Amino acid sequence: MSNLIQTQLFNSSSIRIACDVEGSPFFCVVDLCEALGIARSNATRVLGVDNSSASKTSAIMGYQIDNPSTNIEIMEYEVTDSLGRIQRTKFICEQLAYELAMTGRSELAIAFRKWLAQVAVQLRKTGIVDLRPVESDDELFARALVAAQNKILAIEAREAKALAERDEAIRTKNHVLSAHEAMA
C-alpha cells in the first residue's frame, strides 16, 4: 500500500497522506503531531484513545481505540523509514485529522487547518494535490483583469494588422489601376 502514499509539505513539515480504495484521505498521525507541535500523548487524548481497556479493535501509537460509536477510522500502512526499514504507521481519517488540528490554538495550527481543508478536498475530488497559493478575491479579480486586458490588446493588434493589410491591398489595387490607365 505504500504506493498510495503521497507526501505534501506544510511549512517545513512533511505530511504523509494515504488514500484508501475509495479515495478518502488518511493522514499520518506522527507527521500531524510533529507539524502541529502536539505531543503524542495529547493526540491520544484528543482522538479518544484509552490504553486501559482490553476490548479494543484498532490500535494507534500503542494505544487502543475505545469509541466504536463514532466510526473512528484508523488505518495502518507500511512505510519505509529513514534507515530503509519497513514500519507499520498509523494514518487517521479526514475527520480525526480535523479534530486533531482543531486542538491547536497557535497561528501555525490555524494555518494548518486551512491547509488540511485544501488537501482533503483536492484529494477527495481529484486524487492528487495541487497546493498553489489560494488567491483572495482581489487577487483573482486583478488576475482576471490583466487577462482581459491582454486579450483586448491581442484583438486590437489583430485588427490593426488586418487594417494595415487592407490599406496595403487598396494601395496595390490603386497602383495597378493607375498603371493600367496609363497604359491605355
pLDDT digit string, tens, across residues 83-129: 999 988 888 888 888 888 887 766 777 787 787 777 777 777 777 76
Instruction: Give the three-state DSSP class for 24.
Output: coil
Whole-number Å distance between alpha carbons of 66 and 169? 85
pLDDT digit string, tens, across residues 26-75: 899 889 888 888 877 777 777 765 444 322 334 433 333 444 444 547 88
Whole-number Å distance between alpha carbons of 97 and 102? 8
E strand or H helix that includes residue 65: strand 63-65
Residues 113/90, Cβ–Cβ less than 8 Å: no
Whole-number Å distance between alpha carbons of 51 and 45? 10
Q: 158: pLDDT confidence band, cut at 50, 70 and 90?
A: very high
- Mean pLDDT on 134-162: 85
For the entire predicted model, the pTM comes to 0.50
Residue with cell 507500511: 78
Length in residues, the chain: 184
pLDDT of residue 97: 84
Better-predicted residue by pLDDT, 144 or 159: 159
Q: Taking 80 as the threshold, does the pLDDT of residue 6 lie above it?
A: yes
